[in-house]
Structure 1
Amino acid sequence: MGFFSTFISSFKRPVAAVVGMGSDSKPWTAAVGDQKTCAAIMDCTATHTAKGKVLHVVLDENDRIRQINRTSAYTRLFEKPNPMMSGYDFMYAMSWQLDEKNTALAWVDWGEGTKPKAIWPVYYNQYRLKKIVGENAWAMELTTIDGMPRLVRLEDVIILRQHYQGEGISGGNNRPIYDAITMAEASDRGLMDAIQGANRLHGYVKLKNAMLAPQSTKNNNKTLNDRIKEAAENGGIFQLDATEDFTAVAVNTWAASSAQMKDVQGNLYDYFRTPKEVVNGTANEQTMQNYYEGRIEPRWMAMAQAFTAALFTKREYEMGNRIIVSSPAATAASWATRMNILNYTRETGDLTTNERRELMGYPPVEGGDKRQISLNYVSNKNQENYQT
């Protein structure tokens, strides 16, 4: 994306190339995102991933959340990561790129201060690591989609990987599904070619008189085609004279059978660990919970750790600063489960008024963040004090 180069300040320190040790990005193919089933799966995953709420928190010595900084610069950063994106757009873009290339990159723009100014997803063709001369630090040379190389400090790059075997700086590749994608595309292409062929070839005409000269045959074909076209627009019947004998051609379309296509698509759903029912919106509660636990929550965890590593210094990290990605209330739960949660917590104070409203899909209200506890329960030793 062209705007990326605009916001990266010039990198003036000399760098030295690094050879070997997986210092170059792995090749990738754009065919994954172009295939319709893969695109539907990737869109589904990116949509659910983008529902996550990114928050700045502070942990105590037991790694429990001591403070949620909802108004800190870091929390607000993910509400509006850059001038061209919302927080939803950013999370969606990172998830899509992760599935398409198995390595998603974003660059943190610190501006002139100590707080992050913006975060930009990096739309790259390739990248490589280079050593910064005179420093114990690394740079990443990115070739963006405009074909220009850009240098940024590695510490300012957020890196997400999947299918990662610990070799080099890139995630794996999508080679295991290349055959399935090729088969799906071939079936679609075969069906389209057959349909187009059927629209082009209607039949053949046997002439009962002597064979005409080539030019006369060509003129005769044109006349017949015009008659067929006119007939198609006016009732579908055309006439032949006594010297013509028309035979319609039946075009048999080829495409993979329903069972074959189901098997091919099943391979794609399995590879992305996304049930078809989740993609088409018919999944039951248990399927959705399994999907979130196996697919979305690990992605949120990876994002949280990558965001934390890029945004906080070692000292800030030791002070308990973290970035977390949390789920909206009971995201995968059915209405019945949500009502059960509301009933069970009605008098315990476990949920605030606004948290209860969130479960029902209602907006928060002023003063709704206070916890209210029922006083209907007392110790059995003191019950006489509350009874007459």
Structure 2
Amino acid sequence: MALIESLKGLVWKGKATRHAKMLNGYLPIFSQFGQDIYASDVVQNCVNAIATEISKLQPKHIRTDGNGMQSTPIGPLNRLFKFAPNNLMTTREFLEKIVWLLYKNENAFVLPVYDVTNDGNGLEKRIYRAMYPLNPNRVEFLNEEGTGVLLIKLYFSSGADFTIPYADIIHIRKKFGLNDIMGGDANGQPDNAALLKVLQINDVVLQGLEKGVKTSMSIRGILKINTMTDTEGQQTERKRLEKAIEDGTAGIVAMDLKGDYVPLNVDPKLLDKDTLNFLDSKILRWYGVSLAIISGDYTDEQYQAFYEKVLEPIVIGLSQAFSVKIFSTRELDVGNEIVFYGKDMMYLSTNAKINLLKITGEQGLLTDNQKLALIGYPPIEGGDRRTQSLNYIDTKLINAYQMSTKNKTAKGDDDAG
């Protein structure tokens, strides 16, 4: 109900609208669903691995001043991002849902809900109350007559629709190239044609395996009855054979002259392991996820490759999409932005953690409590201090130090002369 009321509060009440013009000539009307690729367990495992890792991020509102110093403002945004962006989901669930929608539709929409106030200097300020991931089944892009303001009309499966300014919607896109506004193919649809071919082949293979297993476990032999019997008599003989098999614990079945049992050698031809692995690897490569990532048995190098290839573009895209829609141009100019931090480094091996502690510790980048958290220990009293190695010197002091040493050497030579 809170989401519906929020959407109603943002409904466009301006002038008449018409469909926005696109450079490729298409009408900007997009359905939000394609053929279902999520029937595949491999696809679900891949997307789940990506969504699970992104859900570990911690979004923060930060501000960078002119000297490059960063601070974390105390305000409604960081309160929302810390635990629950809305009354329906936690931050982890919020991020996980965005990723699932992004991979399902190649587009993800997030609605920020806010109140407008003045900051005392006559400038308009937004106070954010909630953020909701949206799952419309159809969207249209419109222009207001006269002003050209871009609007987005969202249709939902309940039959409701809402028209709101596009500037008020956070829009994250994937495979953004062929369409002017939406991610995906030229029609703004999920571009899964190549993947569907592989999934269809994989499905045929799995059905063949299922049938092969059933065949091998069904008809195992023929009971040849050496006398002319009616149907009822044949049924009696069959039951007699079944009971003889059940009773033959030694593996030997006793038969009389009336029946012969002829075994059938059922040998279904199943696909080899390499072919099955090839089909799975085609799906894994589509998502950039290795088998080690899915099974959780990965090395630091494998996770780093996964992060750089798959996760990092999503992290950057989320940060930019949230920042540009949440803050005004002036707020962006003075250093406000939303950053998605991946501070949880517990996936690192023990040796990697030791090396990280050594490097960051010597540079004074981490507090004592941050170092303890990295190796899984609780914070201690007074652990907010930072320590740094004396083996490092400020680059601004190097020249002065060298010149001082040179002057002392030269003076010593003059005295000796």
TM-score (norm 1): 0.82
**Quick check: 1:306 aligned with 2:321?**
yes
The structure 2 residue matched to 1:101, chosen from 101, 105, 111, is 105
Q: Distance in 2 between matches of 1:3 and 1:245?
A: 75
1:152-163 to structure 2, matched below 5 A, reads 152-163=164-175
Structure 2 distance, partners of 1:230, 1:96, is 56
Which of residues 111, 130, 136 in structure 2 aligns to 1:118? 130
Give 1:240 shift: 5.8
Aligned partner of 1:386 in structure 2 is: none
Moved more, 361-370 or 302-311: 361-370
Q: 1:16 aligns with which of 15, 18, 28?
A: 18
Pick closer, same or farther for the CA change 1:331–1:165 going to 2, 3 Å: farther
In the TM superposition, 1:1-388 aligns within 5 A as 4-5=3-4, 7-9=6-8, 11=11, 13=13, 15-18=17-20, 20-21=25-26, 23-25=28-30, 28-29=33-34, 31-61=36-66, 64-69=68-73, 71-78=74-81, 79-110=83-114, 114-133=126-145, 135-172=147-184, 173-210=191-228, 212=230, 216=231, 220-221=234-235, 224=238, 228=242, 242-253=257-268, 255-328=270-343, 330=345, 333-365=348-380, 367-373=382-388
Paired amino acid for 2:103: D
Q: 2: distance between equivalents of 1:259 and 1:148? A: 50
1:61 Cα deviation after fit: 3.8
State the SS of the aligned residue for 2:38. Answer: helix
Write the distance in 1 (CA, Å) between the matches of 2:244 and 2:134. Answer: 55
Alpha-carbon offset, residue 12 of structure 1: 5.2
Structure 1 distance, partners of 2:265, 2:137, is 47
Unaligned runs of 5+ in 1: 383-388
- Provide closer, same or farther for how the CA distance between residues 222 and 190 of structure 1 changes in structure 2, counting only shifts above 3 A: farther
Query: Contact 1:24 / 1:169 at 8 angstroms: preserved in 2?
Result: no
- String of CA shifts for 1:326-346, please: whole Å, max 9, x gaps: 221546532212112323444
Give the TM-score normalised by the residue count of structure 2.
0.77
- How many residue pairs get aligned? The number is 375
Deviation at 1:259, TM superposition (A): 0.8
| Structure with larger Rg | 2
Give the whole-Å Cα distance in 2 for the aligned partners of 1:368 and 1:316.
34
Q: Which residue of 1 aligns with 2:397?
A: none
Q: SS of the counterpart of 2:30? A: coil
Q: 1:118 Cα shift?
A: 1.4
State how far apart, in whole Å, the 2-side matches of 1:317 and 1:226 are: 86
Q: Percent identity?
A: 21
Show structure 2 runs of 5+ residues with no match.
118-125, 185-190, 394-400, 406-417
SS of the residue corresponding to residue 343 of structure 2 reads: coil
**Are the equivalent residues in 1 in contact too, given 2:29–2:140 (CA < 8 A)?**
yes
Deviation at 1:307, TM superposition (A): 0.8
Q: CA deviation at 1:102?
A: 1.6
1:224–1:72: structure 2 CA closer, same or farther, 3 Å change rule?
farther
